[in-house]
Copies of this chain bind each other. A is one copy, B any other.
Amino acid sequence: MTQVSIVPVGGLPEVEPGADLAGLLLAAMERLRLRLSETDVVVVTQKVVSKAEGRVVRLDTVTPGSEAKRLAGETGFEPGHVEVILGESVRIVRVAPRVLITETRQGFVCANAGVDRSNTGGAAQAVLLPVDPDASAAALRQRLAQATGASVGVLISDSFGRAWREGQVNVAIGAAGVACLSDYRGARDDDGYQLQGTVLATADELAAAAELVMRKLDRVAAAVVRGLDVRGEGNARVLRRDPALDLFR
């Protein structure tokens, strides 16, 4: 088996609402002399996707309601920030000082509905998750394929906290052209024992690997994972547990 490489794609300019993100990524890869091939997976951080899609809110334009004010008191967050988080959420999962975990409109359970206040082009702004990250990934994939001739996989990534473990890890919130889950159920091991319940979240592992070269503050907005063949027609929807099966509501 050959090795896997993770190549950082740095040097993107500040991404403004309406920016041609595929064009910016292609230009950055051109400068790096990085030529995409069919089995590459391009992992793009949610922040630049959201910015290009105009998912940015100036907090001084937000009027917090009574629920936001109450939760701001419980969490210690700013009321306007909480108002934006509530607007992105369908359900509150946990509230505690400095903690507001919700289920987002997209179906993710994460802190602050994925609403991020850092690196936004101004301290008083918030960046929201893309409305439909799978669609964002599909659109990027189409543009990259048109320009390069390589139908690469595309993942949109974000850093989520976890239950029971400290620290955030990158996960895939959107996907196109990648088999997001690798199902080993029914396979037999070397001793003929049927493996039970072994389904690996390949897309999340790819996103985590990409984060290693995309550390915060480095302006590395994307990475190419190269050397695997994880092509597939799935989207990142399959990574979200059916709420009916969720034991940690």
Contact call A163/B166, Cβ cutoff below 8 A? no
Would you give the 0/1 interface string for A182-206, flagging 1 where the beta carbon is closer than 8 Å to chain B?
Answer: 1010010111110111111110111
Q: Bound state CA distance, A122 and B192, in angstroms?
A: 8
Contacts A98-B197, A200-B168, A240-B166 given; does A182 touch B213 at CB 8 Å = no
Given contacts A122-B191, A168-B199, A196-B117, contact A213 B4 (CB under 8 A): yes
**Which stretch, A64-72, A130-138, A146-154, A214-222, touches the partner chain B?**
A214-222
A91 CA / B207 CA spacing, docked (Å): 32
A6 and B8 contact, CB distance less than 8 A: no
Tally of A interface residues using CB under 8 Å? 76
Q: Which chain B residues border A200 with CB–CB below 8 Å?
A: 159, 167-169, 211, 215-216
A166 near B212 with CB under 8 A, answer no
B204 touches A208 (CB 8 A): yes
Alpha-carbon distance A200/B160, docked complex (angstroms): 9
Interface-side segment among A21-29, A82-90, A241-249: A241-249
Bound-state CA distance A211–B207 (Å) is 12
- Tell me, in angstroms, the Cα distance from A162 to B208 when the chains sit together: 14
Taking a contact as CB atoms closer than 8 A, the residue among B94, B123, B169 that contacts A192 in the complex is B123
Are A164 and B240 within 8 A (Cβ)? Answer: yes
Q: Is the CB of B171 within 8 A of A165?
A: yes
Given that A184-B217, A196-B118, A217-B187 are known contacts, is A163 also in contact with B165, CB under 8 Å in the complex? no
Any B CB within 8 A of the CB of A62: no
Shortest CB–CB separation between residue A173 and chain B, in angstroms?
Answer: 10
Closest chain B CB from A199 CB (angstroms): 5
In the bound assembly, the distance between CA atoms of A9 and B209 in angstroms comes to 18
When distances are taken between beta carbons in the complex, the residues of chain B under 8 Å from A6 are 3-6, 209
Report the Cα distance A169→B134, complex, angstroms. 21
Complex CA–CA separation, A96 to B169 (angstroms): 27
- Is A201 a contact of B247 with CB atoms below 8 Å? no
Against B, the Cβ 8 Å flags (1 = close, 0 = not) of A84-118 are 00000000001010110100000011010000011
Nearest 7 CB-CB pairings of A with B:
A167-B201, A209-B209, A208-B208, A109-B164, A163-B248, A205-B208, A163-B163
Question: Could you give 18 example pairs across A and B, Cβ below 8 Å?
Answer: A4-B5, A4-B6, A4-B212, A5-B5, A94-B247, A108-B164, A109-B163, A117-B193, A118-B189, A119-B190, A122-B191, A163-B164, A165-B240, A167-B180, A184-B216, A205-B209, A205-B212, A212-B225
